[in-house]
Amino acid sequence: MRMLFALMLLVGLAQAAAWLPVPARAEPAIGTEDRAAMTAVIAEQMAAFQRDDGDAAFAFAAPEIQMQFGTPEAFMTMVRRGYAPVYRPQSVEFQAPEHRAGRPVVPVIVGAPDGYLVRALYTMRQLDDGSWRIAGCTLERLPGMGV
């Protein structure tokens, strides 16, 4: 009887332990070289936007983005219509890269053409050759006027 009770107690403890939160696995720190490389890619793409150089801007997009849009012209049309803050920024401030949902993200505070501040969250992807490309960008308008 004691053996059965001990077994039931162990099974109950094991089931209870299954519901305990598992500590999150720490993401590896983003090194100085990778940080500089990611920032350079974003800055160079913004510079290409300023020059209306669709070929150069498109080259900084990750392969999946290039496949999605197909041509530099289609990519630039999307950028002009939906990403005016990064297409024609009035100011740019890079922040420290971080991990979000397991992917490296570079937050950039951008002064938008309309005078508001926007946080552009650039999701980055490292290619097999070690180079970085932009795999997406999400814009978040910040409260108040900026520029």
User: How far is Cα 43 from Cα 61, in angstroms, rounded to an integer?
Assistant: 13
Structural domains in the chain (count): 1
Q: Let me know if residue 10 belongs to a domain.
A: no
Residue 3: pLDDT band with limits 50, 70, 90: very low
Tell me, yes or no, whether 1 lies in a domain. no
The enclosing domain of 121 has a CATH number of 3.10.450.50
- Give domain status of residue 95, yes or no: yes
pLDDT for residue 145: 63
Q: Which two structure tokens, joined as six digits, stand for 5? A: 């009770």
Q: For residue 143, what pLDDT is reported?
A: 86
- Give residue 22's pLDDT: 46
Angle at CA of residue 49, ends 45 and 55, nearest 5°: 75
CA distances from 32 to 37, 38, 146 (A): 9, 10, 29
Give a yes or no: residue 59 inside a domain. Answer: yes
Average pLDDT of the residues of the chain: 86
Q: Is residue 82 part of a domain?
A: yes
**Where in the sequence is the domain holding 141, given as residue range(s)?**
31-145
- Is 77 part of a structural domain of the chain? yes
- 16 within some domain: no
pLDDT in tens, 39-82: 999 999 999 999 999 999 999 999 999 999 999 999 999 999 99
| Residue type for position 29 | A
Q: Residue 59's pLDDT is what?
A: 98
Are the C-beta atoms of 39 and 106 separated by less than 8 Å?
Answer: yes
- Using the predicted structure, report yes or no on whether residue 18 has a pLDDT greater than 80: no
